[in-house]
Structure 1
Amino acid sequence: MSNRIYPDISKIENLAQKSTFLMDGITCAATLHTPLETDKKQYPAILMLGGWGSIQQLLTLPYINHFVKAGFAVMEFDYPGWGLSSGWPRQDINPWTRVKTANAALAHLKNQTQVDAHAIYLWGTSFGGGHVVDLAEQHPDLKGAIIQVPMLDGLAAVRAVPITKLAKFISLGFVDFVKPGSPVHIPTLSEAGEFGSMDKDRAWEALQTALHAHNAKKYDNRVTARSLLTVSFYRSWKKLKDIKIPMLIIGATHDTVAPFVPEKIKDAGNPLLKVIEMDADHFDPYFEPCFPKTVKHQLNFLEQIQTM
């Protein structure tokens, strides 16, 4: 087990412009990162989709910095009810609502004056990797997509949960779903063996290391119990066969949070899918020593498809 080191974010060489967009009347917060240089009017752009308990920049800023340095504009956003976005209930997850939000974010990105609307790429991690598959299937006009440690088969993830813990998830989820008033929340991340929606692959350590690197004092470590009821039904791998843009899939062979499903990717029979398997767990790609290799694969992929 290697020690994780958060990539250096002390030298941030980009401009960050905050904005908002609407999704079904909900105000969602976004940040567009662009290179410091001003001689170029428009940039190719990457829309970043965070994972299960994501908020802007917490684990993604090192990737943003590398993509901006490579000449891309990069936009992140907070899902409804998370981070700086409005919406109720707070800390709720519905994958299909999130894909709808990602569509609104994509439209917002295309309208930015600094962005070349005809050169848009998608990037998604963890649960957001599944959303990228949905979005890419809906938008064959996009240039390409990258997904890392993606949640492609929610059923596989549910099957990896111990039966006693799964029973508690389901019971709390149904209580939360039917009860009026304030929702029932559980911890989003927890220490190994403790109760929470993610306690594997040193999830708690990953959160604490990232918070320390960002000098962040707190993270709203809650998710509605009803959110857990949606996971097994979210199986975006079924749409891989319909993807019509180049897609890089980086899977972690020791991922126990979102188990990698290479056989399902292979069954899609789609030549536009490029798969790289890494000897890593779910959170390793965000940290040294895995991060440099992961981001290098992604930058090489972007360079290759830009010339297509």
Structure 2
Amino acid sequence: MTKTRGRELSRLRYARNDADFESDGTRCAGWLYTPEGVSNPPVVVMAHGFGAERTFGLPEIAKEFVAREFAVFLFDYRNFGDSDGEPRNLVSASRHVEDWKAAIDHVRGLDAIDRRNIALWGTSYSGGHVIQAAADDHRITAVIAQVPFVDGRAVARASGVKKLLKGTVAGVRDLVRKYTFRGPHTVPIAGYPEEFAVLNAPGAMEGMETIVPDPPVWDNEVPARVFLEIPFYRPVSVVEDVPCPMLFVGGRDDDIVPVSSVRSAAEAADATYVELPVGHFDVYDDALDEAVGYEAAFLNEHLG
């Protein structure tokens, strides 16, 4: 965080209240941020990307939106962070999208916000989830997809055959344990390029370390069955079904999500597209101001 932004946010007056909800019978932890002195503000619904919790850098981004007089609803998926559910850190795109839909329904029942003006903000893996959710909910006002996972095929090709094969073996091993009622077989979420992990592109481990709060309370592991899902998760296939305005933010130097896939998805959706000269994790740190600037301008235009 820059010193200037730190001083500005230190003067920000807002309320943050717990606003938990249920998704398929499991409690999900939610926070509702509301700017002081603003009547019925539009609301931005937010959740994190692959294997991450709401505390991993997102409160600072939420405050940036609150400073611009938007409310923010920030939540953890089932099995993550402060939410209930086992096994822990279970990454499943279909379950996550269900959680997004449950969160949206919950927000529509909250007081002190404009329930008709709801934007979805997703980043990395959740950048795909917001596309899926908005394709099924035509009452959403706007969508922001930041360095979004939009095409599992493109990500799988970039990962290479060796990693795909090893990941498939690990995923099958995890499913065998699941169906024989044993604990999951886990693999690291993030690792260095010479290590086996779901995210082991250059800078992935360092990037995760920049967003995990200090002191870290994070288990760097995920049930390996996610490897069997990644190549087949393709939000780009429904991007044309989203009727509301969308903003895609791509990272030109992104080693995790090929920027060409983000560009193609934006073109298919006829969406607003911004490409920054940054890597995948820079949008939470060095490029946060620039990314939020574009995103806030987009929200002002479509939610104002």
TM-score normalised by L of structure 2: 0.91
> 1:100-146 CA deviation, whole Å, 9 max, x = no partner?
11000001111111221111111000000000001111122221111
Letter in 2 for 1:206: G
> 1:189-224 CA deviation, whole Å, 9 max, x = no partner?
11332221112241221222233xx43332121111
For 1:248, what is the secondary structure of its paired residue? strand
Aligned-pair Cα RMSD in Å: 2.0
Identify which of 140, 146, 149 aligns with 2:147: 149
Moved more, 161-170 or 229-238: 161-170
Distance in 1 between the 2:121 and 2:266 partners?
A: 21
CA contact (8 A) 1:187 1:197 kept: yes
For 1:217, what is the secondary structure of its paired residue? coil
> Where does residue 96 of structure 2 map in the other structure?
98
In proportion to residue count, which structure has more helix? 2
For 1:117, what is the secondary structure of its paired residue? coil
Moved more, 124-133 or 9-18: 9-18
> Where does residue 216 of structure 1 map in the other structure?
215
> Where does residue 242 of structure 1 map in the other structure?
241
> Where does residue 196 of structure 2 map in the other structure?
195
Q: Give the C-alpha shift of residue 262 in structure 1.
A: 4.6
> Where does residue 292 of structure 2 map in the other structure?
295
TM-score normalised by L of structure 1: 0.90
Identify which of 281, 284, 293 aligns with 2:282: 284
Alpha-carbon spacing, 1:18–1:245, altered in 2? closer, same or farther (3 Å): same
Distance in 2 between the 1:80 and 1:138 partners?
A: 20
> Where does residue 117 of structure 1 map in the other structure?
115
Distance in 1 between the 2:241 and 2:168 partners?
A: 32
Letter in 2 for 1:247: M
> Where does residue 14 of structure 2 map in the other structure?
14
Identify which of 102, 125, 134 aligns with 1:127: 125
For 1:160, what is the secondary structure of its paired residue? helix
> Where does residue 58 of structure 1 map in the other structure?
56
Distance in 1 between the 2:15 and 2:189 partners?
A: 31
CA contact (8 A) 1:5 1:287 kept: no
Distance in 2 between the 1:229 and 1:66 partners?
A: 36
> Where does residue 28 of structure 1 map in the other structure?
28
Structure 2 unaligned blocks of 5 or more: none
Letter in 2 for 1:171: V
Q: Give the C-alpha shift of residue 14 in structure 1.
A: 2.8
How many correspondences in the alignment? 297
CA contact (8 A) 2:16 2:34 kept: yes
> Where does residue 204 of structure 1 map in the other structure?
205
Structure 1 unaligned blocks of 5 or more: none
Distance in 2 between the 1:129 and 1:217 partners?
A: 25
> Where does residue 255 of structure 2 map in the other structure?
256
Alpha-carbon spacing, 1:83–1:152, altered in 2? closer, same or farther (3 Å): same
CA contact (8 A) 2:30 2:74 kept: yes
> Where does residue 158 of structure 2 map in the other structure?
160
Q: Give the C-alpha shift of residue 267 in structure 1.
A: 5.5
